[in-house]
Chains A and B, each alone.
Chain A
């Protein structure tokens, strides 16, 4: 028993017999009166869950490191035999021998510029509208809020055709601007709800005090409420960003040339050519997923608080 626990706690000072006892105490003492057996059981269950959660992702890294001749193998090793960075090189810099340029940076840039622009627009629109929904009892407020929620029932892809026709008539197909327009308000209804939930938690007294001091209503909003709501605005921005960053369906319809692809379309061209480019797909995925996941994990605390805001308030 003792050995298993010290394995599970690499940070524990477990060298001597005395150390083992210490590690034992360190590991078990803080339980809510759980017996050691139960604690071990819980940790085992969580470790199994973690393996299930992480292993498929590790496999992508494995495949990306495989040399091209052993791409197809039934080995389950995490670091493959003869690990190489060739796949990464070819994805990043192209292959001069095959006379093929790398579009990887182009795709990332396309995705990045489109997503940043839409997130900025969406966040501003939502932040401003949410304030009205939070503080004013104007006619149509209840209907408006329900309407915003109803837009979530619109099946994916239903609005694609009209938007496509509109963009085609404006000659915006294959341009980043077209996709920016298509994305810009898709996240607004839900973010209005989120930000409104946050505004609701800020006492009205704050604005009233500011207005007594001579600020206008708008001034109270921009100088008091907005700075206080930075976390909620960050959440809204992240929502829009993560929504657009890996979006596939709309992008596929709006962008049809390799040059204007966003990265999801780009890596799909790798993945759709089956075995040949599996390694390239994996390498590109790893390079995109790592920064995305870092950003996500870094901000997940805020994301979660944003998701639970509307409910917890109740």
Chain B
């Protein structure tokens, strides 16, 4: 940290002022006169802000109620048997209400199971039906109006819950809890993960054992049963996964894709990191420039690389054409090299695969080199000095000092890099869209096609489960072999 002199501070104020003025001038000079052609207007902006505010208030309110409830569970105890009854009844009631709501949510909105229209369904839906009735009543009230009825009844419910919590608070006395705070802190994240990761995962498992497809209107008329799961599994391993590709072809291609990419990412990243890890001039410039492919938003990078693989006007074929002309100009002595020339990146399956690999290698090297450089810089030079005294050459130093000491950095990043590459959907989807003839599809892009082009939902769910199991086995084996992650969570 450099010391901040007053002058420097004024300079930064002046800079900020200049930026503000520049923004205003740009607005006045360029944007305001052309506002007619811009579809974003102040109305959309304001409603957007309101929307965000509502979301945040809703989430904060819900979380506050949850936290309040948990606080009372962990940090308050009844004063005497009478209050114990009041307290437990209220707490149980709230918990049961929440449970009913979750059950209804999972069945009616989440589609995880069917409650049915019978007595059980009616019982679980009772609180929600009352809530709806309340909303309807409030809609009739003039001063509230139609738009705010939902919010009003929500507020009323929240106030009711809050009152219940307050009652519990006042009939109880404090107590100590060792782990209460831990649960209080985890609860919000846990709720989020439960609804948006855990529930969808369960849903997919259930869907894997169904015949859901476009014909069954997704899940509405689908049938469930072990037999469908078996059928999906058989279809996955013997039939076409998307239009014409077979599972094992795609699987082998995915392994190839992952192996090629991770190998190049790690070796390329290692070479760059080793080159940069020395006191040298211009190091900062190189580091900044080399991180560019990572800094560009992925979508932009992938889409512009797709254009660069254009047969005629793309960068790669322009360069290859120039190279070809150059070789031809060298004369017949180099005739054996003349087959080097532009290739059809989009039509030839092999070159299409090369093109997606090139793109992803280009995108992924900076990340690895940055990680490895960070690891290298944390290795004390004493190790190298000791190795030198023992007579180790540079090569031996690399294998016996650098690599072992980099392991804590390398292991997690290789695991995550492998999993991310295995799952790298956007590069393939945006550059080749799996073409030609699905010869560049990897498992996840085939899966996406099966779901959103061929609408085979049950089949896709089974497909996803199989991919998940493959990845899990890989990670477990790798962790077992390298023993790398243990230190991280103990």
Contacts and interface: CB of A to CB of B under 8 A. Distances in A.
21 contacts: A46-B275, A50-B286, A56-B305, A59-B304, A72-B312, A76-B315, A113-B51, A142-B489, A149-B485, A153-B475, A155-B468, A157-B464, A161-B200, A162-B199, A166-B110, A184-B192, A185-B196, A218-B181, A248-B298, A282-B304, A310-B488
A184 B295 contact: no
Closest 9 CB pairs of A and B: A94-B37, A136-B182, A246-B297, A162-B200, A129-B189, A93-B34, A158-B464, A162-B203, A314-B408
Contact of B188 (A101, A125, A271): A125
Contact of B306 (A32, A128, A271): A271
Contacts of B411: 311
B488 A314 contact: yes
Given A32-B278, A52-B362, 4 more contacts: A34-B278, A157-B447, A182-B196, A307-B370
A185 B192 contact: yes
A288 B295 CA distance: 12
A151 B423 CA distance: 13
Contacts of B457: 161
A246 B419 contact: no
A153 B419 contact: yes
Interface residues of B, number: 118
Contacts of A271: 303, 306-307
Nearest to A120: B56
B45 interface: yes
Given A102-B39, A129-B190, A312-B375, A155 B300 contact: no
Contacts of A224: none
Given A158-B467, A159-B200, A271-B303, A304 B181 contact: no
B330 interface: no
Contacts of B170: none
Residue with the highest number of chain A CB atoms closer than 10 Å, among B375, B378, B487, B489:
B489
A184 B196 contact: yes
Contacts of B77: none
Given A76-B318, A246-B297, A292-B297, A129 B464 contact: no
B296 A293 contact: yes
Contacts of B430: 248, 268
Interface in B286-315: 286, 288-301, 303-308, 312-313, 315
Interface of B: 30-31, 34, 36-40, 44-45, 48-49, 51-52, 55-56, 59, 108-111, 179, 181-183, 185-186, 188-190, 192-193, 196-197, 199-201, 203-204, 207, 218-219, 272, 275-276, 278-282, 286, 288-301, 303-308, 312-313, 315, 318-319, 321, 362, 366, 370-371, 374-375, 378, 408-413, 416, 419, 422-426, 429-430, 443-444, 447-448, 451-452, 457, 460-461, 464, 467-468, 471-472, 475, 485, 487-489
Contacts of A49: 272, 275, 286, 290
Interface string A5-26: 0001100000000000000001
A232 to B, nearest CB: 15
A105 B196 contact: no
A155 B444 contact: yes
Contact of B444 (A102, A157, A264): A157
A260 to B, nearest CB: 11
B425 A132 contact: no
Nearest to A160: B451
A39 B280 contact: yes
B89 to A, nearest CB: 28
Contacts of B378: 308, 312
Interface residues on A, range: 35 or more
Contacts, number: 350
Contacts of A188: 189, 192-193
Contacts of A314: 408, 487-488
A136 B303 contact: no
Contacts of B201: 154, 158-159
Contact of A9 (B34, B281, B447): B281
Residue with the highest number of chain B CB atoms closer than 10 Å, among A30, A92, A94, A271:
A271
Contact of A268 (B37, B181, B186, B299): B299
Interface in A145-199: 145-146, 149-163, 165-166, 169-170, 176-177, 180-182, 184-186, 188-189, 192-193, 197
Contacts of A157: 425, 444, 447-448, 451, 464
Contact of A117 (B31, B55, B278, B312): B55
A239 interface: no
Contact of B468 (A54, A120, A158, A248): A158
A161 B451 contact: yes
Contacts of B362: 52-53, 56
Contacts of B56: 117, 120-121
B181 A74 contact: no
Given A49-B290, A192-B189, A304-B370, A310 B303 contact: no
Given A267-B303, A288-B300, A59 B308 contact: yes
A78 B375 CA distance: 36
A106 interface: yes
B426 A312 contact: no
Given A59-B304, A117-B55, A9 B468 contact: no
B425 A109 contact: no
A311 B413 contact: yes
A280 to B, nearest CB: 12
